[in-house]
Structure 1
Amino acid sequence: KENNLNSTPELTLKAIRMINEIGSERGENGMPRLLPGLNFIYGLDGETADTYDMNLDFLKKLLDENLLVRRINIRQVLPVRREFSVRVNPNRFKQNKEQIRDEIDHEMLRRMVPKGTVLTEVFTEIRDGNTTFGRQIGSYPLLIGIPYPLELGRFYDIVVTDWGKRSITGIECRFDINKATMTQISGLPGIGKKRAAKIILAKPLDPEKLRKAIDDDSVFDALSPYIVY
């Protein structure tokens, strides 16, 4: 009431449950069709030292209920029309923000786009060193890092291989392992540069030759969503 937020934790949780019930189904582009976003604003009237723990506990409850949110924004209030009585502790704010990024964001991404999920029509935008970054067209699209150079300004289907705190890593969907470069192969989950070199030397590859080059059945078995021969 003091801050005219027009909601409570209970109402917010109810809304998140409703949106998940309708929108968590995966759409044609590989992402859930519709997910909510959350904004946490620190420094509002009525805030106490317990607010930080309450916010984190609320987010943990979402994970406990297997509820998804697309983004979690963490902001400090900026007074415009009046001053607020609360002064944000910068160290406590930073610690809480890092907790949310470490304990919530990564796990939320892992559930939202599991390994092997194909994200269609990812538009490549920029390159930083050997990493190409792209996003799907849409509201708040995920930032996707592809660990090798790709032509910019094109659409690619990308399969998820790993997650960061607020972004994901992926590679081209089901590329031909016999035509792949060293950097493409090393981007496969569980491969790395050493195994990639062995795979390159073993070309031309069939499943058995690849299995022998990798020398780890669990790694080999996990590659089926990513490659063709």
Structure 2
Amino acid sequence: GSEVVKLHPWYPWVMAELELSRGCDKGDAPCSFCTEGTSMKIEERPISDVLDEIRALYNFGIRAFRFGRCSNILTYQGTTFDNKRKPNADALRDLYSQAREACPQLMTLHTDNANPRTIVDFPDAAAEAIEIISKYNTEGDVLSFGIENLHPFVRNINNLKVNFDEALFAVKVVNEIGGWRPTPRSLPKLLPGLNFLVGLAGDSNESLKLHAEFLARILEEGLMLRRINIRKPMLFENTPLKVLIDKYPSRIKENHYKKWKEWVRSQIDQPLLKRLAPLGCIIKNLRIEEKVGNLSFGRQLATYPLLVGVVDDTLPLGTVIDAAVTDYGRRSLTAVPFPLDLNSCPPGSLTAIPGIGKARASRIISQRPFASFEKLKEAIDEEEVAEGLKIFTAL
């Protein structure tokens, strides 16, 4: 049935999610809100089946894959030790390395969820698993951590995974092992993504304060996150939360929730985004999906792809380009096409670059074409500004 991908309206610009498992490796003690651990025991597809699917999709033109539908990628094909699932490095090595071999022109290989508890319980085995993933994946990948709530009381009654110190430890481990960049201007290979749930049984403003301390600590210690998700829980039948929420109702008011969420978006997201994708960072393979004013918005085929506003209104929809970061929104990036052709780019692309205002942009436009960087320097009155512009061009 793999040929069905050819019917996708954006074919071959399609990301195939490959199901690795069903159920939850937490066994008989699922998190209170989650349906995954209540309906079935964990079952996993053999590596050979997953590879067969990859090959079939690849033969029909798919170049982007995501290992998904897995509650914890770190324990895929894992072993049981002391009633806990332990990572199986050999299985992950086989899965990832053979996926690479099957797809020589692979563009994206990303993943989904990981349980930070596994890193706490099996630090050495988890470190090896993370090292394997970050060796064979493609840049910009994320391990989604279900932190949910770090308050001791809320964590206890909702049967959540890690406390404050354990969550910080897991974030540090992934940063240390997966936070490297294939090139100086690439996105990091593999970073944590944090999921928070506001409104679980027993939740209160004390939880919001604790989470603010946790995120501030991440900033203070120079750590990186790929993204932060903030959600409210949904009540499903047959989950413990359905009963717990009546006994221990959440005391968080809507205005407190909105205020805390606004604080995260305004005070945490942008500094972390600057750390993740510094000025001049190259975001590869952006597909232009929408145009607003002089911005052409694009995203990669990726797990939680970054939204990038490219300052160039001449780009046709569907164009796939590389872009270099020039500025930051709250959860998005501003960029210019890379390499920027100074001899033909629109004025807006020039003024999007730090240090190039309207006057300098007009001077550059009036004196182009430039045959060399030296000629460009003559058109700009400050050498430091010219050097800053150089990283965005092919000169």
Report if TM-score (shorter chain) is over 0.5. yes
Aligned to 1:117: 281
The separation in 1 between residues aligned to 2:262 and 2:175, in whole angstroms, is 26
Q: Which amino acid aligns with 1:226?
A: F
Aligned to 1:215: 381
Aligned to 2:393: 227
Q: Is 1:41 matched with 2:227?
A: no
Q: Is 1:176 matched with 2:341?
A: yes
The separation in 2 between residues aligned to 1:180 and 1:38, in whole angstroms, is 38
Moved more, 107-116 or 3-12: 3-12
Contact 1:101 1:165 in 2 (8 A): yes
Residue deviations 1:20-47 (CA, integer Å, cap 9, x gap): 1221011369221111111111122232
Residue deviations 1:179-210 (CA, integer Å, cap 9, x gap): 22223322222223333222211223354554
Q: Is 1:162 matched with 2:327?
A: yes
Moved more, 215-224 or 99-108: 215-224
- Counterpart pick for 1:55 among 203, 206, 211: 211
Q: Is 1:138 matched with 2:313?
A: no
User: For the aligned residues, what is the CA RMSD?
Assistant: 2.1
The separation in 2 between residues aligned to 1:181 and 1:130, in whole angstroms, is 10
Q: Is 1:18 matched with 2:173?
A: yes
Contact 2:187 2:276 in 1 (8 A): yes
- Counterpart pick for 1:91 among 255, 277, 292: 255
Contact 2:336 2:352 in 1 (8 A): yes
Q: Which amino acid aligns with 2:261?
A: K
- 1:112 deviates by 0.7
The separation in 1 between residues aligned to 2:359 and 2:235, in whole angstroms, is 54
Moved more, 107-116 or 60-69: 60-69
The separation in 1 between residues aligned to 2:346 and 2:383, in whole angstroms, is 22
Contact 1:43 1:77 in 2 (8 A): yes
The separation in 2 between residues aligned to 1:123 and 1:76, in whole angstroms, is 31
The separation in 2 between residues aligned to 1:228 and 1:71, in whole angstroms, is 31
- Counterpart pick for 1:6 among 161, 164, 168: 161
- 1:222 deviates by 0.9
- Give the aligned length: 229
- 1:91 deviates by 1.6
Aligned to 1:185: 350
* Structure with higher helix content: 2
Contact 2:204 2:252 in 1 (8 A): no
Q: Which amino acid aligns with 1:129?
A: G
Contact 1:68 1:112 in 2 (8 A): yes
- 1:212 deviates by 4.8
Q: Is 1:31 matched with 2:197?
A: no
- 1:57 deviates by 0.7
The separation in 1 between residues aligned to 2:391 and 2:196, in whole angstroms, is 37
Q: Is 1:127 matched with 2:291?
A: yes
The separation in 1 between residues aligned to 2:295 and 2:341, in whole angstroms, is 20
Name the structure, 1 or 2, with higher relative contact order (CA <8 Å, separation 6+). 1
- The secondary structure found in structure 2 opposite 1:43 is coil
Where does structure 2 lack aligned partners over 5 or more consecutive residues?
Answer: 1-155, 237-241
Moved more, 91-100 or 181-190: 181-190
Q: Which amino acid aligns with 1:144?
A: V
The alignment's TM-score, normalised by the length of structure 1, stands at 0.90
The separation in 2 between residues aligned to 1:127 and 1:192, in whole angstroms, is 23
The alignment's TM-score, normalised by the length of structure 2, stands at 0.54
The separation in 2 between residues aligned to 1:91 and 1:215, in whole angstroms, is 51
